[in-house]
Amino acid sequence: MEILSRNRRLRKSDALRQMVRETSINTSDLIAPLFLKEGPNGKEEITSMPGIYRYDLKALMQEVQELYNLGIKCVSLFPVIDENKKNPNAMESINPEGIYQLAIKEIKHSLPEMLIMTDVALDPYSSDGHDGLVDHKTGQILNDETLEILCQMAVLQAASGSDIIGPSDMMDYRVGAIRKALEAAGYKDTLIMSYTAKYASNFYGPFRDALNSAPKKGDKKTYQMDYGNASEALRELQNDEREGADIVMVKPGLAYLDIIKLFSEHTCLPIAAYNVSGEYAMIKAAAKMGWIDENKIVHEILTAFKRAGASMVLTYFAKDMAKRLNE
């Protein structure tokens, strides 16, 4: 028997395996999502996301500093709004004195090099728990009517110091409208990371627990994508490119690696993957049962996002992964 091509030669030792490794995950690829709440009572753990907290401003600042020290250079902020401040018009979203704006300013002030990504959607502020305004007669989630407040949010966040605007409502013409509003207000260097292919997914449950933001009625299927579709993601990609997105995101991540790969074959823009709350919760739960090795699995899945074509990953594992990469 003559075997001339032996792929195992390259797998013989750690040194060889590392030398020929095609992708690896680095601290600079990680974006840490953080939940910010009204103070003052420090931090409280989210039941369905062990190890992840809602922080008041003071606790948030400490966490951001720790992340920065570990080499994480971008945080993505989500606000937890008190129920009595929610209303159908989501007015708290454009309160210049609200905790969200305060946090952006405070981080920029104390850590100017930390990149801040901010969320532009109504769900944290809406008493309806939807990402857009709701017509209460018909139950419809309104597309065009929601644009004005979203543009106001984006400009306010940019003025506070946000580096990256993340329109997360998955409705039409968000990127174009926000891009125009930012240009008109003089924020021409503010980036937009579009939630380009965001699926109507069952993996968002723990996030909605964290914000208490689940829809009061209905679901999000008239705006988020059907998980049976891939070509539709390319249509979304074309729109976002035309409308001026700087980074395009696929969300959730693990069940959608094919979409990340598809994007990598169709765009020259950087691609982000969002390793969402439900994916985090599943790994945490299985690890707690002793059924999987959490650290090894996290390294494997984060590497897989890179292999599929993502340049960066939003992940609740960011801090843990950074700690281990620093070891």
Pull the structure tokens for residue 144: 């065009």
Q: Examine the residue annotation and report whether 251 is marked as an active-site residue of this protein.
A: yes
DSSP code of residue 33: E
Q: Is 168 in the site for ligand PBG (CB under 6 A)?
A: yes
Helix (H) or strand (E) holding 197: strand 191-198
Rounded distance, CA 64 to CA 269, Å? 27
Q: Is 317 in the site for ligand PBG (CB under 6 A)?
A: no
Which one is catalytic: 37, 86, 198, 319? 198
Pull the structure tokens for residue 126: 């809406």
Question: Which of the residues 219 through 238 are near ligand PBG (CB under 6 A)?
Answer: 220
Q: Examine the residue annotation and report whether 198 is marked as an active-site residue of this protein.
A: yes
- Considering the complex, what minimum distance in angstroms separates the CB of residue 231 from ligand PBG? 22
Q: Is 123 in the site for ligand PBG (CB under 6 A)?
A: yes
Could you tell me the CA-to-CA distances from 80 to 63, 86, 165 in Å, in that order? 16, 10, 18
Pick between residue 190 and residue 224 the one whose CB is nearest to ligand PBG: 224
Q: Is 131 in the site for ligand PBG (CB under 6 A)?
A: yes
Stretch that binds ligand PBG, among 109-117, 203-211, 237-245, 305-313 (CB under 6 A): 203-211
> Which class for 3: exposed (0-12), middle (13-18), buried (19 or more C-beta within 10 A)?
exposed
Which one is catalytic: 37, 86, 220, 251? 251
CB of 250 within 8 A of CB of 310? yes
Pick between residue 93 and residue 277 the one whose CB is nearest to ligand PBG: 277
DSSP code of residue 118: E
Stretch that binds ligand PBG, among 18-26, 100-108, 139-147, 204-212 (CB under 6 A): 204-212
Q: Is 272 in the site for ligand PBG (CB under 6 A)?
A: no
Pick between residue 157 and residue 168 the one whose CB is nearest to ligand PBG: 168
Whose tokens are 């305060």? That residue is: 102
The three-class DSSP label of residue 295 is: helix
CA-based diameter of the chain, in Å?
A: 77
Q: Applying CB under 6 A, which of residues 35, 100, 187, 207 lies at the interface with ligand PBG? A: 207
| 238 residue type, one letter | Q
Could you tell me the CA-to-CA distances from 160 to 72, 106, 148, 204, 272 in Å, in that order? 21, 9, 18, 28, 24
Q: Is 53 in the site for ligand PBG (CB under 6 A)?
A: no
Q: Is 121 in the site for ligand PBG (CB under 6 A)?
A: yes
- Considering the complex, what minimum distance in angstroms separates the CB of residue 302 from ligand PBG? 15
Site residues for ligand PBG per CB under 6 A: 121, 123, 131, 168-169, 204, 207-208, 220, 276-277
Active site residues: 198, 251
